[in-house]
């Protein structure tokens, strides 16, 4: 991987000049620019994990360069910083180095060779060494919100919900990036909060024993008095939403549908319902295959926690089955319904049921006619309608049945391709 550089400077022309120096001196570098004058200070949880070195102007446009330098160097495992001085002097350089700068350069007249040499040494130096166990530094590194989770270093927060917070972390054991999902017992929702929380953890414990290429790998569980955490696989390529926006060929959509159905097949066989299938919970591996994440009781708890006194539901339940949206009993066929909605979206690049409020979306799932596909996609419509029938009894009875149906369509698609269609 080439050098990854972040430039923090309020002058667009100067940022471009610095980027050109980097691009001349390194093969295939990745250069990102940050304008403090328009974006303000960096978020408190920004750790610079995606960069090898940061170039920082001593007059960033918001506050002083030394304030920025001291703040960033206090952040755990932050990459080396090359400091750009408007008026270089022995005194200003010594002050910058004392504040944590890896090195200093004149902002007014860039010595290209010196510039590249300094970046190379910064890249070789890497991030600061880990603090020794038992020090305040290791405690700060292992802080996730108001919790300390030893064995993991905080990188950044990824998402938050009423029940859980999701972080990107670094495992000190494997030295690799992991996703850390921290779950809390939320305030009493339905009189059985502790039971629901325990069931959620039980389902993840069951799923952790599953080894399947399309199911996320779960590495570890841990627990405290009122929280638990789950360490699981991290997917740098992101989720299915981006892929849908780019457009998916019908034959590829069928392949992804089969992979999701195969993952559901093994989850259901282990006694686990997903309950929250949506493109954001379908991750991409480097080889283009997909992985299901985030199964368990979280959606059920969050749905109950989000119902107000007048019955309004906060959220966008575009993928909920009619029975789930109306609070009725769900089973494996509810997951197949959600999968069918995703299949429609992959083929059509839009959701089948759109409305102004979540409750109106729920109503459409239960009462609107089944959506139709474009004429050139009609060959997929039988699979779609057998997934998203309003009555669960009219859907595929199991994920295994869906897998076989998709395989048959894939064989037909291969024959069409061989014949030049």
Catalytic residues: 276
CB 52 within 8 A of CB 3: yes
Could you give the CA distance from residue 297 to residue 181 in angstroms, rounded to a whole number?
14
Name the nearest CA neighbour of 342 among 290, 415, 273.
290
CB 238 within 8 A of CB 290: no
CB 330 within 8 A of CB 323: yes
Place of tokens 């090195």: 103
CB 380 within 8 A of CB 373: yes
CA dihedral 239, 245, 251, 257 (to 10 degrees): 40
- For residues 95-115, b (16+ Cβ closer than 10 Å) or e, as one string? bbeebbbbbbbebeeeeeeeb
CB 358 within 8 A of CB 368: no
CB 370 within 8 A of CB 272: no
For residue 414, what are its two tokens? 């291969």
Secondary structure class of 368 (helix, strand, coil): coil
């Amino acid at each position: 991987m080439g050098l990854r550089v972040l430039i923090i400077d309020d002058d667009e022309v100067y940022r471009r000049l610095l980027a050109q120096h980097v691009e001349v001196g390194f093969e295939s570098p990745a250069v990102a620019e940050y304008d403090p004058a328009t974006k303000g200070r960096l978020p408190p949880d920004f750790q610079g994990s995606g960069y090898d070195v940061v170039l920082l102007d001593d007059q960033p446009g918001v506050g002083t360069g030394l304030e920025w330098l001291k703040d960033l160097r206090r952040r755990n495992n932050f990459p080396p910083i090359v400091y750009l001085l408007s008026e270089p002097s022995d005194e200003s350089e010594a002050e910058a180095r004392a504040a944590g700068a890896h090195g200093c350069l004149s902002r007014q007249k860039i010595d290209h060779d010196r510039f590249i040499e300094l970046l190379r040494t910064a890249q070789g130096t890497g991030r600061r060494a880990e603090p020794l166990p038992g020090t305040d530094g290791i405690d700060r590194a292992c802080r996730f919100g108001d919790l300390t989770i030893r064995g993991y270093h905080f990188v950044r927060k990824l998402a938050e919900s009423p029940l859980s917070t999701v972080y990107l972390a670094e495992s000190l054991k494997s030295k690799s990036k992991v996703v850390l999902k921290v779950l809390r017992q939320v305030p009493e929702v339905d009189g059985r909060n502790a039971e629901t929380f325990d069931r959620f953890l039980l389902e993840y414990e069951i799923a952790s024993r599953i080894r399947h290429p399309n199911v996320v790998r779960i590495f570890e569980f841990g627990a405290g008095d009122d929280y638990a955490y789950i360490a699981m696989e991290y997917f740098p390529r992101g989720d299915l939403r981006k892929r849908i926006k780019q457009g998916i060929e019908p034959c590829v959509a069928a392949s992804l549908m089969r992979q999701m159905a195969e993952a559901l097949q093994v989850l259901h066989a282990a006694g686990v319902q997903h309950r929250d299938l949506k493109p954001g919970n379908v991750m991409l591996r480097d080889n283009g295959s997909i992985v299901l994440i985030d199964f368990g009781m979280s959606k059920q708890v969050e749905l109950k926690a989000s119902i107000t006194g007048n019955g309004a539901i906060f959220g966008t339940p575009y993928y909920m089955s009619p029975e789930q949206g109306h609070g009725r009993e769900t089973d494996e066929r509810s997951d197949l319904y959600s999968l069918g909605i995703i299949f429609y979206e992959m083929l059509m690049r839009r959701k089948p049921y759109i409305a102004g409020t979540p409750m109106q979306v729920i109503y459409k799932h239960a009462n609107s006619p089944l959506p139709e596909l474009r004429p050139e996609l009609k060959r997929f419509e039988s699979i779609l309608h057998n997934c998203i029938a309003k009555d669960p009894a009219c859907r595929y009875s199991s994920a295994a049945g869906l897998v076989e149906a998709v395989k048959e369509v894939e064989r037909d698609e291969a024959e069409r391709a061989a014949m030049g269609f």
